[in-house]
Amino acid sequence: MIEATNGINKKNGIIFNIQRYSVHDGPGIRSIVFLKGCPLTCQWCANPESQHRQPELAYNDYKCIGTSECQYCLTICPAGAIQKNQDKIRIDRKLCTNCDLCADSCPSKALNMYGKSMSVNEVLDTVEQDSIFYSRSGGGMTLSGGEPLLQADFATELLKEAKRRRINTTIETCGYADWEKVEQVCQYVDNILFDIKSMNSNKHKEFTGVPNEKILDNFQRLCNRFPNTPITVRTPVIPGFNDTEQDIVAILNFIKGIPQVRYELLGYHRLGEPKYIYLGKDYLLSGVKPMAEDRLAVLKKLVQEHLGDKH
Query: Rounded to whole angstroms, how far apart are CA atoms 54 and 115?
Result: 7
Query: Rounded to whole angstroms, how far apart are CA atoms 42 and 300?
Result: 23
pLDDT at 3: 33
pLDDT at 8: 44
pLDDT at 308: 79
pLDDT at 307: 87
Among candidate residues 133, 158, 134, 130, the one with its CA nearest the CA of residue 34: 158
In the chain, the N- to C-terminal Cα span, in Å, equals 43
Residue pair 53/14 in contact (Cβ under 8 Å)? The answer is: yes
Global confidence as pTM? 0.92
Query: Rounded to whole angstroms, how far apart are CA atoms 56 and 51?
Result: 10
- Domains in the chain: ranges and CATH: 12-53+116-307 (3.20.20.70), 56-113 (3.30.70.20)
A 10 A CB-CB count for 192 gives 26
Which ranges of the chain have pLDDT less than 50?
A: 1-9
pLDDT at 1: 26
pLDDT at 175: 98
The residue type at 270: R
CA atoms within 13 A on the CB side of 30: 24
Residue pair 154/1 in contact (Cβ under 8 Å)? The answer is: no
Taking the CA atoms of 32, 36, 41 and 46 in sequence, report the sign of the dihedral they define. positive
Tens-digit pLDDT profile for residues 154-165 = 999 999 999 999
pLDDT at 311: 59
pLDDT at 5: 34
Local structure of 161: helix, strand or coil: helix
User: From the DSSP assignment, how many helices (H) and strands (E) are in the chain?
Assistant: 11, 12
- Main-chain dihedrals φ then ψ at residue 84, nearest 5 degrees: -70, 140
